[in-house]
Structure 1
Amino acid sequence: MQIGLILLALAYVLSQFFRAFLAVLTVPLETDLGITPDVLATASGLWFLSFAALQIPVGWGLDTLGPRRTSGWLLLIGGGGGAALFALAQSVMQIHIAMILIGIGCAPVLMASFYIFARTFPPARFATLAALMIGVGTLGNLMSSYPMAFAAQTIGWRAALWLLAVGCVVVALGILATVRDPAKPEGDAHGSLLDLLRMPVLWLMLPLAVVNYAPIGALRGLWIGPYLSDVFALNVSQIGVATLVMSVAMILGTLAYGPLDRILGTRKWVVFGGNFAAFILLVLLVMFSNANAWLAIALLAGVGFFGSSFPVIIAHARGFFPEHLMGRGVTLMNLFGIGGVGLMQFGTGRIHSAWSGQAPDAPYVAIFVFLAVSLAVGLLFYARSRDTRD
């Protein structure tokens, strides 16, 4: 199982890579295929939406088939096949289909590890283990920053995607060979996703789940590149360094969040405080959008650090899930979290189009305002939620 968890962590590294690598390919893809950042925002949104759409069947698969088959086969077919199609792409439609396939392939890997944690380890350790897995996986964000920019400039983006396709296949085969499914819970195992949605305690948590990951998903996943290029005229290598800085901040933030619920004795207020800090940083980005490149990068890194509270949100909700619906429960939260990014990425693409042609920073100020307001609304609901402690 230790080897299996390591391979699931490697699979999640690939998942984190694929949700963010378009940020450093905006220039090469526009040069080679004429694909603009607005179109890439749609491609990024399709990744998140396909990822989110799979969460319901993935939840069923985890509870019935187990994490080994659910994660291994989807990563093999979706991740490997989608990366190969991206490497061969000659049109916008092929890029979109490739991102949908990759989203399907990446959909189960984090939830498979969360399912194993929830069914195998004490509840009090869940947030720490989840944060550790996400922290390790966020190395994929590092790979998708300067290393991917360097690869695109040296061997070309197509060759880099072929290597990633091979990596998906190898990791998927390893998961199928090594992961061991936890024993199923004893007793009555009847139930469905509707049973979870009938729990009012979750309703006040779901709005923040929708918008919590959206700022770092949208900014690190795509807009950091065009923003720094259009407003501060940074080149591909400099953007690679900036994305690397934000990625490191996300890793540090995730690892910092992990033990805080046990240290402070609360999950709700750890999440609320961190997301409120992210809201303040988004407001500062609006106020100082064109002041200085390094200030902008520092503020983006701050959003990455404080916006990495997703594992604690999952741990907060996990305290309310019945054992036999654990797979459906964690994937439900992931559905809202990743689906929210997908929907908001479509929104940011349209906002960018609507404000293009004005001042260079105008489209990005509008995006920052949109993300800040969305996060504030989520916090208003979450403030009334019920805390959980183990």
Structure 2
Amino acid sequence: MHIGLILLALAYVLSQFFRAFLAVLAKILEQDIGASPDDLAFASGLWFVAFAAAQIPIGAALDSIGPRRTAAGLLLIGGGGGAAVFAMATSPLHIAIAMTLIGVGCAPVLMASYYIFAREYPPMRFALLASVMVGVGSLGNLVASYPMALSAELLGWRTSLWGLGGLSTLVALSIYLWVRDPAKVEGETKGSLAELFKLRALWFIFPLMGVNYALPGAVRGLWIGPYLTDVFGADTSAVGLASLLMGTAMISGTLFYGFADRLFPSRKWMLAGGAMVTCLATFTVILLPAHSLVLAVGLICAIGFFGSGYAVIMAHGRSFLPPHLIGRGVTMLNLFSIGGVGILQFASGRVYHHYAGTGDTVLPYMMVFVLLGACLVAGLLVYLFSSDRAA
């Protein structure tokens, strides 16, 4: 099982990479195939929407055929195939198609790991294991920053994507060979989505799940590049370095939340406090839009650190799930998380496009931050009525 989890972690590195690498390619793709920031926002949004939409069938597949075939099959077709389509792209439409395929391919990877954690390990260890998996996988976020920018400059973005497609294919085949499905529980009943939504405790967790990762995910995955370039005149290397710093902050935050979950008496108020700090950093960006590049990067890193409570929110929701609903439950929580990113990517692209017409360089980005910050505030207000549970 340990080899299988290592391979799933490597696959999750790829998943994190693919959701974030567009930010450092923004300028190159605009020059080569005419892809504007709102084109890339649309393509990035499609990645998240496809990823989210796949969660419902993936949840059923995890409960029925297990994580091995579910993860290997989709990563092979969607990850390997989508990267190949991206490498051959000649228009923004091709980028959108490629990102949709890649989103489907990456969709089962983390949930396959969580399913194994939930079925094979004690509930009290779920938050820590989930956070470590996200932290390790977030190395892909780092590779999607400065190293990807360097690779694009030295090898070309098409060659880089062909290499990523080959790596995705190899990892998918390895998962099929080495991952082992957890044993079924004798006499276990078959769950359904209707039964899942009867768990009222989840209703107050879903909204925060839907917006908490959306803010740092949208900034790191797309807006950090255009924002720093247009407002501060940052070049590709500077954007890559800033993305690397934010990615490092997100990994550190993920691990912090995972270990802090064992120490804080209240999971709910730890998460609420982190969301409040994220809101504060976001609205500081809005109030000081072009003060200095160093301050902007520092605030973005704060958003990345304190907005990385995803795995512990997942653990909060998982604590209310009976064994026969684990597959559907964790994937539904993930649907809200990734779906929220996708929806807000679309919305942020439209907001940017609307205000870009004013001729103001700074205003479009500030309105994007207003949108993302306001949604986080709304999700946090609902979450404050949730039930606390530490196990």
1:304 counterpart letter in structure 2: G
Aligned to 1:146: 146
The answer on 1:373 being equivalent to 2:374 is yes
Aligned to 2:286: 286
1:169 counterpart letter in structure 2: T
SS at match of 2:262: helix
Aligned to 1:363: 364
Shift of 1:148: 0.4
- For 1:187-212, what per-residue CA distance to the aligned partner results, in whole angstroms no more than 9, with x for missing partners? 24222011111221111111111101
Q: Counterparts of 2:263 and 2:70 in 1: how far apart (Å)?
A: 34
The answer on 1:201 being equivalent to 2:207 is no
1:187 counterpart letter in structure 2: G
Superposition TM-score, scaled by structure 1 size: 0.99
Shift of 1:90: 1.0
1:257 counterpart letter in structure 2: Y
The number of residues matched between the two structures is 390
Matching of residues 165-180 of structure 1 within 5 Å: 165-180=165-180
Shift of 1:262: 1.7
Q: Counterparts of 1:93 and 1:36 in 2: how far apart (Å)?
A: 12
Q: Counterparts of 1:231 and 1:133 in 2: how far apart (Å)?
A: 35
The answer on 1:116 being equivalent to 2:116 is yes
SS at match of 1:360: coil
Aligned to 2:313: 313
Q: Counterparts of 1:35 and 1:188 in 2: how far apart (Å)?
A: 50
Aligned to 2:233: 233
- For 1:89-142, what per-residue CA distance to the aligned partner results, in whole angstroms no more than 9, with x for missing partners? 112221111101000000000000000000001100000000000000000010
Shift of 1:223: 0.2
Aligned to 1:384: 385
Aligned to 1:42: 42
Q: Counterparts of 1:244 and 1:389 in 2: how far apart (Å)?
A: 33
Shift of 1:360: 1.4
Instruction: Give the 4+ runs in structure 1 shifted more than 4 A.
Output: none
Q: Could you tell which deviates more after superposition, 270-279 or 125-134?
A: 270-279
Shift of 1:186: 2.5
Q: Counterparts of 2:96 and 2:142 in 1: how far apart (Å)?
A: 23
- For 1:12-43, what per-residue CA distance to the aligned partner results, in whole angstroms no more than 9, with x for missing partners? 00000000000000011001001101100000
Aligned to 2:9: 9
Shift of 1:155: 0.4
SS at match of 1:263: coil
1:377 counterpart letter in structure 2: A
Aligned to 2:126: 126
Q: Counterparts of 2:2 and 2:190 in 1: how far apart (Å)?
A: 30
SS at match of 1:259: helix
Shift of 1:295: 0.4
Q: Could you tell which deviates more after superposition, 122-131 or 260-269?
A: 260-269
Shift of 1:259: 1.9
Shift of 1:336: 0.3
Q: Counterparts of 1:201 and 1:293 in 2: how far apart (Å)?
A: 42
Q: Counterparts of 2:265 and 2:127 in 1: how far apart (Å)?
A: 12
Aligned to 2:296: 296
Q: Counterparts of 1:383 and 1:358 in 2: how far apart (Å)?
A: 40
2:322 counterpart letter in structure 1: P
Aligned to 2:210: 210
Superposition TM-score, scaled by structure 2 size: 0.99
2:371 counterpart letter in structure 1: F
Matching of residues 74-89 of structure 1 within 5 Å: 74-89=74-89
SS at match of 2:297: helix
Aligned to 2:269: 269
Q: Counterparts of 1:27 and 1:385 in 2: how far apart (Å)?
A: 43
Structure 1 unaligned residues grouped into runs of 5+? none
Q: Counterparts of 2:146 and 2:195 in 1: how far apart (Å)?
A: 45
Shift of 1:372: 1.0
SS at match of 2:35: coil
Q: Counterparts of 1:100 and 1:262 in 2: how far apart (Å)?
A: 37
Q: Counterparts of 2:241 and 2:262 in 1: how far apart (Å)?
A: 34
SS at match of 1:69: helix
- For 1:277-326, what per-residue CA distance to the aligned partner results, in whole angstroms no more than 9, with x for missing partners? 10000011101110000100000000000000000001000011110110
Q: Counterparts of 1:12 and 1:196 in 2: how far apart (Å)?
A: 26
Q: Counterparts of 2:188 and 2:101 in 1: how far apart (Å)?
A: 35
The percentage of aligned residue pairs carrying the same residue is 56
Shift of 1:358: 3.1
The answer on 1:53 being equivalent to 2:53 is yes
Q: Counterparts of 1:185 and 1:64 in 2: how far apart (Å)?
A: 12
Q: Could you tell which deviates more after superposition, 267-276 or 239-248?
A: 267-276
The answer on 1:18 being equivalent to 2:18 is yes
Q: Counterparts of 1:69 and 1:381 in 2: how far apart (Å)?
A: 37
SS at match of 2:329: helix
Q: Could you tell which deviates more after superposition, 223-232 or 267-276?
A: 267-276
